[in-house]
Amino acid sequence: MKHLLVALSLLLSACNAYAAGQGSTGLLWTPASSYTDGSFMVLASQRIYAARDSNVQCGAPPALTAFEQVSSVAPGIASFIMGAQYNGGWYFYATSVDTFGNESDPSDIVCNSINIAGNWLPPGNGVKPGRPQNFRKNPGT
């Protein structure tokens, strides 16, 4: 029974690490302090957007419509760490939001490649493994 509990504990630990994703990406930038015409702006917040491509090599970024907001960052902050990432190419951009709620155009898009053994994203809800093909009785038995 003790061996079963130890094995179950190790399995749960592995599942928890897998479920959370193991990769992370640190981002740095210079916060905006003016409008595009050069006039003074009061920065209210900054938004971080992310998109993931299952290909672990960074390539052409996905369309902006594929990105989702993952965080809102206070105006005095110029860094962010995105944790719990599964394998793939992770693309990011930031925007600035003024005190009136106007959002800027996206910053440059950056990519981080996450490739950690055993760190693959689990299938979505309702997704099942493919079924066996060519299933038949072995005529030799």
- Whether pTM exceeds 0.85: no
118 backbone φψ class: left, alpha, beta (φ>0; ψ -120 to 50): left
- Up-side HSE of residue 94: CA atoms within 13 Å toward CB? 22
pLDDT at site 20: 59
Domains present along the chain, CATH in parentheses: 21-114 (2.60.40.10)
Query: 69 near 103, Cβ under 8 Å?
Result: no
Chunked in runs of 10, what are the mean pLDDT values of the chain (141 residues)?
Answer: 36 40 92 95 96 91 96 94 93 96 96 90 73 79 81
The reported pLDDT for the residue numbered 91 is: 96
Distance CA 48, CA 106 (A): 10
Cα–Cα distance, 99 to 42 (Å, whole number):
6
